[in-house]
C-alpha cells in the first residue's frame, strides 16, 4: 500500500541516484517532475562506497540511475523510453 508515492515502510517508490553537474540527471528529474511522480534523490557525488554499490547493483557506471520499486530501470534515456512507450505508469502501478 502506498501513500503519496511512498510505501508504508517509508521508502519512496522511485529513487534517483545523481551527482553534481549532471545534465542527464536534470533531464531525468525534469521528466519525473513533469509527470508528477515523487522521487527520492540520492547524491552519490562524494560517497565512493555508495557509488561502488550503485555500479554493482546496476552494472552501469553513469548517473543518473533510477530505481522503481527497488528495481534498476536504467538512466535518463531508459526512463524517457519507458515514458514514451507508456510503460512508466505501468511500472509504478506494479511496483511493490
Residues that bind ligand GSH (CB under 6 A): 22-25, 61-64, 75-77
Measured from the CB atom, the residue of 3 and 61 that comes closer to ligand GSH is 61
**By C-beta, is 13 or 76 nearer to ligand GSH?**
76
CB of 39 to ligand GSH, least distance (A): 15
C-alpha 33/C-alpha 78 separation (Å) is: 16
67: phi then psi, degrees, rounded to nearest 5:
-120, 135
Least CB distance to ligand GSH at residue 75 (A): 2
Number of C-beta neighbours around residue 81 at 10 A: 13
DSSP string computed for 37-67: ---EEEE-TT-HHHHHHHHHHHS--SS-EEE
Cβ-closest position to ligand GSH: 75
The minimum distance between CB 72 and ligand GSH, in angstroms, equals: 12
CB 57, min distance to ligand GSH, A:
15
Q: Among 73, 75, 74, which Cα is nearest to 94's?
A: 73
Between 12 and 25, whose beta carbon lies closer to ligand GSH?
25
Amino acid at each position: 500500500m502506498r501513500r503519496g508515492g511512498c510505501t508504508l515502510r517509508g521508502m519512496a517508490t522511485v529513487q534517483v541516484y545523481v551527482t553534481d553537474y549532471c545534465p542527464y540527471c536534470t533531464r531525468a528529474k525534469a521528466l519525473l517532475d513533469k509527470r508528477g511522480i515523487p522521487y527520492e534523490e540520492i547524491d552519490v557525488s562524494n560517497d565512493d562506497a555508495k557509488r561502488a554499490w550503485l555500479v554493482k547493483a546496476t552494472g552501469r557506471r553513469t548517473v543518473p540511475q533510477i530505481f522503481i520499486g527497488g528495481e534498476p530501470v536504467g538512466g535518463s534515456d531508459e526512463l524517457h523510453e519507458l515514458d514514451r512507450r507508456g510503460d512508466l505508469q505501468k511500472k509504478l502501478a506494479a511496483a511493490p
